[in-house]
Structure 1
Amino acid sequence: MEFRAREDIEAPLDHVFREISDFPAFERAIMRRGGDVAVLPGPVPPERGARWEVRFRFRGKDRRIEAMLDKLDPAQGMSIAFESPNIKGDCVVDLVPLSPSRTRLNIVVSVKPVSIAAKLVAQSLRFGKHRMTRRFKTMVTTYAEDVEARYRATA
């Protein structure tokens, strides 16, 4: 299953990159939503190979996902791979400079079920994919608006 979103942000590429690579802010956001985040031993963010363990409750069950920073390039964006006992996937964030003060944010999240149980859940989720895609795009739009607002506040 794949989710895509594209937003144009009224901020320069370097500012948008600093925002998307602010890993402590994302960790705090996960904790505010009831999750638990731990940086695993090894390279520390924002180094390539940095890993996190994220624990959260979803659909009445405790879940655990391990994420790893695959790519972090100030001129292009980043890529994070994630896996759990039931799913594998990745999140690719591409940044495209449209002008010196405008950046396009492209996000693609791919999720692949691994276990039989996850495949059954994924099959049922396909019926609601349109609604989930709309929610995903809304979240990306809100994030892009927040990045713009923070840029305007500092400029």
Structure 2
Amino acid sequence: MKFSTKEDIDAPIEAVFAMLCDFETFERAAMRRGAEVQRTDTKSAPGVGMGWRGTFNLRGKRRQLEIEMITFDKPNEMVFECNSQGLMTLLTTELVALSKNRTRIMMSVDIKPLSLSARLLVQSLKLAKTSLTKKYKLRAAEFVKSLEERHERGRP
């Protein structure tokens, strides 16, 4: 099951990519929301092989998640593989420079079940795909807007 969207941002592609590579900010944001996040690699610069292990509460259950960066093509694309209890998810972010100061961000989430219970979960998600797609696009737009505001304030 796949969700995808694209948004345009008033910022150069290099600046957008740099903000997307600020993984410490994303880690802190997850921790503020109650997740536990640990890096599983020792890389000092962003690249293939970066990884995280996380635990968080979802619908009353403690969930575990493993994330690994599998593609890093600066400043065009990053792909992350996420594994969690029978689900494998690919998170893809692609950037295209529309002009010197404008960038298109294409984001997609592709969820694949690996177990019977995960297959049942994905099947139930398919029934609500229309509303989930709306929520996904809204959240993506809010995220891009926050990146644009961050760029305007002059923070990388």
Superposition TM-score, scaled by structure 1 size: 0.94
Q: Give the drift of 1:3.
A: 0.7
Count how many residue pairs are aligned between Structure 1 and Structure 2.
155
Amino acid at match of 2:146: D
SS class of match (1:154): coil
Q: Give the drift of 1:46.
A: 1.3
Q: Deviations over 1:95-117 (max 9, x none)?
A: 00000000000001101111111
Structure 1 residues 6 and 67, CA gap change in structure 2 (3 angstroms): same
Q: Give the drift of 1:41.
A: 3.7
Alignment of 1:50-61 (within 5 A): 50-61=50-61
**Do the aligned residues in 2 keep the contact of 1:10 with 1:102 (CA within 8 Å)?**
yes
Q: Give the drift of 1:129.
A: 1.1
Amino acid at match of 1:106: M
Aligned to 2:87: 87
Q: Deviations over 1:9-50 (max 9, x none)?
A: 000001100111110111111111111110014545513101
* Structure 2: unaligned runs, 5 residues or longer: none
**Do the aligned residues in 2 keep the contact of 1:65 with 1:84 (CA within 8 Å)?**
yes
Amino acid at match of 1:4: S
RMSD of the TM alignment (CA)? 1.5
Alignment of 1:1-155 (within 5 A): 1-44=1-44, 46-154=46-154
Superposition TM-score, scaled by structure 2 size: 0.93
Q: Share of identical aligned residues, percent?
A: 34
Return 120-129 or 99-108, whichever deviates more.
120-129
